[in-house]
Structure 1
Amino acid sequence: MGAPERELVSGAEATALDLRALGEPVSRSDLRSFRHTSIAAGVPRLDPTAPSLRGWLTVIGMAVFGVLSALVGVLVLLDGISVTSIVVALVSAFLVFGSTLIVGRFSWPRWGSRLWRDRYRIARFAEQNGARYTAAMPTPQLAGMLFPRGDRRRASDVVDFGVEAGWSVGNLSYLKNLPKGGAEQHVWGYVSVELPRRFPHIVLDSLSNHGLRGRELENPYSGQGAIALEGDFSRHFRMTCPPGYERDALYLLTPDLMAVLIDEGRDFDIEVVDNRLFLYRPRPFALAEAAEWERIRRIIDTIAEGAYKRTVNYRDERVGDVRTDIVADGGRRLPTPNLTVIVLVTYAVCLLAAVAAGFLGG
């Protein structure tokens, strides 16, 4: 199979997105008509990325708890400076800080006219750019690690630019059950780009999106084939690839592409699986805003285009016929940790530690 002649973007196509619809005023009649038509077509009235009831109760409770903690700290200090009051004030400050972290991660939902105005603008934007807009849908059946996760999986504000363009953007939401009961909502924005050929499974876990407004990627392959790259790249990303495919990973991650990833994509977790490049952001895309699409366009013009050009001529030398678009079994998916082995090793280490402690104590 020969390499495709087309490129993901070209100099002319790189500035082809028409953003006018995102800034135009929306009349009440157009918005009302769009809302009625959408509801009749089965579009939900609520935003699928809106926080759950548990999320609302949690953030309200933590906000109240933070205010009360701050009040206690201030009142204790006003009563007089002592060792006890200073300790209580420090504990109160710590509790306020923890409450602020939880409340700060809260994403305020869209509802009412704002929700439908956003949907209308995204739909108009998609229409003007030859894309297809879906306000809400079941999670796409894609190979990326985020798509099969959790319960009540939904995709929303999905803009698909079609087979010819080969890329789409959207938001993912799902519930993850907690060990002590209840569930935690996860919301991610994603970009999906079709590559010209299949490539070994690679995960780049961003170290820059674990802060107040971020979330650490739950990487089931963490530690399986992790390698450190030269320069500043390892300060921004932790890379894992299948054992024996380190050279293939470096074939993709040229110094130029690594520099672009640091500049434009350091707040994204990145996955290459089969013939797809995924970029995940631990908060939803605001796709009714022109600035968000400007950022996405830069990602397509730089990161996606760089990955596309590097995979056009890729061949896995481990397969019999390198002309075929196939990756060997060992590189198709990263190996997941063997839980049985982990349990046995942990048990053996604990047993040896106990024996050593008894021997030394005796």
Structure 2
Amino acid sequence: MSAPSPPPSPARRLDLTPLTAPLAEAELSAFVADSKASGKPWRVMTTGARRPGVSDVAGQLVPALVPLVGLGFFLWIGRWSLVEAVWEFTLEAPFPLNLVIVAVVALVLVAALLAVVHVIRLVASLRIPRIWWETAYRLVGFAAANDLRYGHDEQVAHPGVIFLTGQDRVAERRLTTTAGRPLEIGNYRYAVQGENDEQPQVHHWGYVAITLDRRLPHLLLDAKANNRSTFGIKTSNLPVDLAPDQRLALGGEFDEHFTLYAPDNYGRDAFGIFTPDLMALFIDRLGTYDVEIIDDTLFVYGSPFDLLAPRTYAWLQEVVATVVARTVRRTERYRDDFALLESGPDTSSTPAPSPPVAAAAAAAKQGVPDPERPVFALGGDAGSGTATNRVAEQGRRLRRRRWGPAAVLGLLVVAYWVYDTIVAPLFGLPVLPG
């Protein structure tokens, strides 16, 4: 399945210089000093896992330093004569005693070397590496050069499935448009606490959030290319278990790339949105990403993005100019018939483009980039106003899988069959009455 992509919108060119220009040491040093003095969030290195504090390092240093101090004390007392005495004793000792002495000395030296390496690593763990500062410096400069907002270790309130799981949910680094259509790209993490107070397991994602012009029913496209495989059994990489009766087959190549979930009774709406041309764009541009449409926001989920790589933004602009632009056009007149039954007629309409957007649309027709338009914008599409249409409650959220009485009864029947057929005959146990 393939379809021609919409013509790219003439958006303002990104200034990629801050991402690729040589870095002056004096500028980086000044940035580090200012970040520490002004209390910037990136002055502390965070990864999601608990970093050792001073007390933790001190507690680990003592066991490593004691043997080093002891070895240094004996060497200081005996000096070179001690080394000569051990060497002569080894040469004069009978075989295999001399080998035992060599082994003991080797073990002492190896233990001392490992202790030194451990001490160096512990001390280095308290120091923020250069790459951390360099990344923050480049992204801050990139955001300033392109009228974007840079956020670091911020709480997020998105309704998508990856944002409602675990604890310590944080957008590690994200870039957000400050004008025009709201668009956000970033890396996100959350932690799942392990059993018995073990170190929590940290999960990392890359995501894109783009505001649409209309509210749509909750749709989830689970890409099959990034599913996990356990003993040959494919399972979704998404941290959510949706009710399987919400799966919807659109047919053809699309079903080979995505598993589509739609709320009950919204199959017709999904068919109306995902026309063959739009399905082809999703396959071509987002075939390895999970996509979620919830309310008036389209989310794209994948592995963490390299926010310092120009190719990341080239991909993002292509997705906006093709997939998102076509989705906006396909849904510009969407109305939910079920919403009429809840609260009467839906009188909302597609918002008229504001003057700046109308001017951008005129520039788009002439193929001329508008220097006043924000980056990542959709040329010629509707404005960035808040969606005014409604979606019925039954279509706003997908249902999670629930283990009801029927599922529990089914498990009991399977357990009974396994015991009576396999376990009881194998171990000579009594058979349960049928």
TM-score (normalised: structure 1): 0.73
SS in 1 for 2:288: coil
Aligned match of 1:162 in 157, 166, 178? 178
Quick check: 1:271 aligned with 2:292? Answer: yes
- In the TM superposition, what is the alpha-carbon distance from 1:148 to its structure 2 partner? 2.5
**Conserved? CA contact 1:48–1:173, under 8 Å:** no
Distance 1:31 1:260, change over 3 A: same
Aligned match of 1:131 in 148, 151, 160? 148
Q: List aligned pairs for 1:81-100, cutoff 5 A.
A: none
Which letter maps to 1:146? I
Which letter maps to 1:323? T
Distance 1:52 1:209, change over 3 A: farther
CA distance, structure 2, for counterparts of residue 51 and residue 342 of structure 1:
40
**Conserved? CA contact 1:221–1:336, under 8 Å:** yes
**Conserved? CA contact 1:168–1:193, under 8 Å:** yes
- In the TM superposition, what is the alpha-carbon distance from 1:180 to its structure 2 partner? 6.7
Which letter maps to 1:254? T
CA distance, structure 2, for counterparts of residue 41 and residue 215 of structure 1:
40
Q: What residue in structure 2 maps to residue 172 of structure 1?
A: 188
**Conserved? CA contact 2:227–2:236, under 8 Å:** yes
**Conserved? CA contact 2:165–2:239, under 8 Å:** no
Q: What residue in structure 2 maps to residue 306 of structure 1?
A: 326
CA distance, structure 2, for counterparts of residue 197 and residue 165 of structure 1:
13
SS in 2 for 1:156: strand
Q: What residue in structure 1 maps to residue 110 of structure 2?
A: none
- In the TM superposition, what is the alpha-carbon distance from 1:123 to its structure 2 partner? 1.5
Q: What whole-Å deviation, never above 9, does each CA across 1:60-85 have from its counterpart, x for those lacking one?
A: xxxxxxxxxxxxxxxxxxxxxxxxxx
SS in 1 for 2:218: strand
SS in 1 for 2:250: coil
**Conserved? CA contact 2:169–2:191, under 8 Å:** yes
Extract unaligned runs of 5+ from structure 1: 1-8, 55-110
Q: What residue in structure 2 maps to residue 113 of structure 1?
A: 130
CA distance, structure 2, for counterparts of residue 202 and residue 312 of structure 1:
17
Q: List aligned pairs for 1:237-256, cutoff 5 A.
A: 237-256=258-277
- In the TM superposition, what is the alpha-carbon distance from 1:184 to its structure 2 partner? 1.5
**Conserved? CA contact 1:49–1:172, under 8 Å:** no
Larger CA deviation: 238-247 vs 149-158: 149-158
**Conserved? CA contact 2:292–2:298, under 8 Å:** yes
Q: What residue in structure 2 maps to residue 336 of structure 1?
A: 400
CA distance, structure 2, for counterparts of residue 257 and residue 20 of structure 1:
34
Higher CA-based Rg: 2
> Sequence identity of aligned pairs in percent?
28
**Conserved? CA contact 2:19–2:310, under 8 Å:** yes
CA distance, structure 2, for counterparts of residue 251 and residue 47 of structure 1:
47
Which letter maps to 1:290? P
Quick check: 1:35 aligned with 2:32? Answer: yes
CA distance, structure 2, for counterparts of residue 23 and residue 30 of structure 1:
15
Q: Name the Cα RMSD after superposition.
A: 3.1
**Conserved? CA contact 2:243–2:399, under 8 Å:** no
Aligned match of 2:280 in 259, 263, 270? 259
Q: What residue in structure 1 maps to residue 168 of structure 2?
A: 152
CA distance, structure 1, for counterparts of residue 298 and residue 147 of structure 2:
22
CA distance, structure 2, for counterparts of residue 178 and residue 160 of structure 1:
33
Distance 1:177 1:334, change over 3 A: same
- In the TM superposition, what is the alpha-carbon distance from 1:131 to its structure 2 partner? 0.7
Q: What residue in structure 2 maps to residue 291 of structure 1?
A: 311
CA distance, structure 2, for counterparts of residue 201 and residue 293 of structure 1:
27
CA distance, structure 2, for counterparts of residue 48 and residue 312 of structure 1:
41
